[in-house]
Structure 1
Amino acid sequence: MNLDFSRLKGNDSYHAMIQTIIPRPIAWVLSENDSGNYNIAPFSFFNAVCANPPLIMFSVAPATDNRGEKDTLYNIRQRRQFVVHIADASLAEQVTQTAASLPRNHSEAGASSLTMSKMTKFALPRISQAKVALGCQLHQLQTIGHEGTQTLIFGQIMQAYIDDDIGYINEQGRIIINPQKLMPLARLGGDIYQLPGDILTIERPK
């Protein structure tokens, strides 16, 4: 099979990409809306992009209804803070539920039985059930694609919560996280998720 992407429509390109660029990490993003409620939504066009300053990036498509832009983008544009969670296998159902489109200013937290915990040095709370949470300050918004079809949200990590059961700091001061204990969800095509399986360790050349 050879695909000529210059001949594919946007939706066809999307489906080809999400089934070949796999697995993809999931940014499970909490933001605050105009009513003071917490919007929660998953995004799988997501990764780390810089260490100094510590930046993450995720890509947001337009809303499919008449709102124009998704609640997550609107909230971050207004308040400039958000929390990115790394969800594990036990949260797969809740992650999927928070992908539903709710009216603006409604909260996905209540609809998915999620609870909040305070972060020590960050204004927004984190999802209590998630083992990793990254409190982020908006660094930059960038619109890309034909007719502005995607918005890249760059966030600078200001504080990280890591569950003590999955990680520690070694004698050299390096943070070590056990991926088998974290069991992070990864996104495949369609409605399919992936969990960590066998882990391969290969030493890099000197």
Structure 2
Amino acid sequence: MIVEASGLDAASAYKLLIGSIVPRAVAWVSTVSRDGVGNIAPISFFTAVSRKPPMVSITLQPRSDGVTLKDTLVNIQDTGEFATNLVSLPQAHHMHRSAVEFASEVDEFEALGLEKGPCQTIRAPRICGAPISFECVVDRIIPVGDMLDHVVWGQVVNFHIRDDLYLDRGRIDTAAVPVVGRLAAEYTLVNNVFTTPLDEDVLETRQTKRMARLDAHAENWSPIDTAEWSPSGSTALAKEANA
């Protein structure tokens, strides 16, 4: 199957990207408005872009109306700072619910029942309970394409690392973090590790094996084509929250 990208609209291209680039790390981004209102959003277009200075990148799409900028981006533009927090399994549902498009005057820490953690350099709070958080100051904001997408580069000025995860020589015990990644319309728990090469019998067994589900859905179920799914990941949640 060959799909020519030039003939795709934004939603169709998005579906192919998020279904192909998996798993994606989730930046659970916390910001604060000029007026001090806390905001939280899960961003899965997230990666590292530089070592010295350490720098990360997040890409934000507009709200589900396709026009309005998300509060996260507005806050980043206004304050020049943000925190990225990793998501572990105990906080996965809170992270999922933070995709709701709350009104701008709603403090999402309070709405979601999450505790604010102080940062050392920036005004934006961390999310308490996150195993690792980065304090970031904006390096640049880059408009991309014609769909109001924006790429934000943030310089990491402080790392907050749970004590038991910090190893000698400045390493992270990666196998000790039950970190959650993003698939297309679902999440995955990173709970397997390996080095190569693997035995041939392992490779043969895993070649066509589906991922094991942790929830109660059937093995071949996916929300991607259900009425609950939306390209922004938030429309159905917003309807539920406002019901």
Same topology, TM > 0.5: yes
The equivalent of 1:57 in structure 2 is 57
Match of 1:178 among 151, 155, 173: 173
**Deviations 1:19-78, CA, capped at 9 Å, x for gaps:** 011110011101111331210001101100111111100101112248721100100100
CA distance in 1, matches of 2:144, 2:163: 39
CA distance in 1, matches of 2:67, 2:10: 21
2:68 maps to a residue whose letter is: G
The equivalent of 1:160 in structure 2 is 159
2:45 maps to a residue whose letter is: F
Could you tell me which runs of 5 or more consecutive residues in structure 2 were left unpaired when the two chains were aligned. Answer: 198-243
Tell me, yes or no, if structure 1 residue 151 matches structure 2 residue 146. Answer: no
Larger Rg: 2
Work out whether residues 34 and 79 of structure 2, in 8 Å CA contact, stay in contact via their aligned partners in 1: no
Tell me, yes or no, if structure 1 residue 196 matches structure 2 residue 190. Answer: yes
Q: Percent identity?
A: 27
**TM-score by structure 1 length?**
0.90
2:129 maps to a residue whose letter is: Q
1:149 maps to a residue whose letter is: L
Kindly state the Cα deviation for residue 179 of structure 1 after the two structures are TM-superposed.
Answer: 2.2
Work out whether residues 35 and 105 of structure 1, in 8 Å CA contact, stay in contact via their aligned partners in 2: no
| 19-28 or 1-10, larger mean C-alpha shift | 1-10
Aligned length: 197
CA distance in 1, matches of 2:87, 2:154: 18
**TM-score by structure 2 length?**
0.76
| 67-76 or 17-26, larger mean C-alpha shift | 67-76
CA distance in 2, matches of 1:161, 1:104: 27
Kindly state the Cα deviation for residue 149 of structure 1 after the two structures are TM-superposed.
Answer: 2.8
Structure with greater proportional helix content: 2
Runs of 4+ in 1 over 6 A off after TM superposition: none
| SS in structure 2 at match of 1:90 | helix
Relative distance call for 1:12 and 1:67 in structure 2 (3 A) is: closer
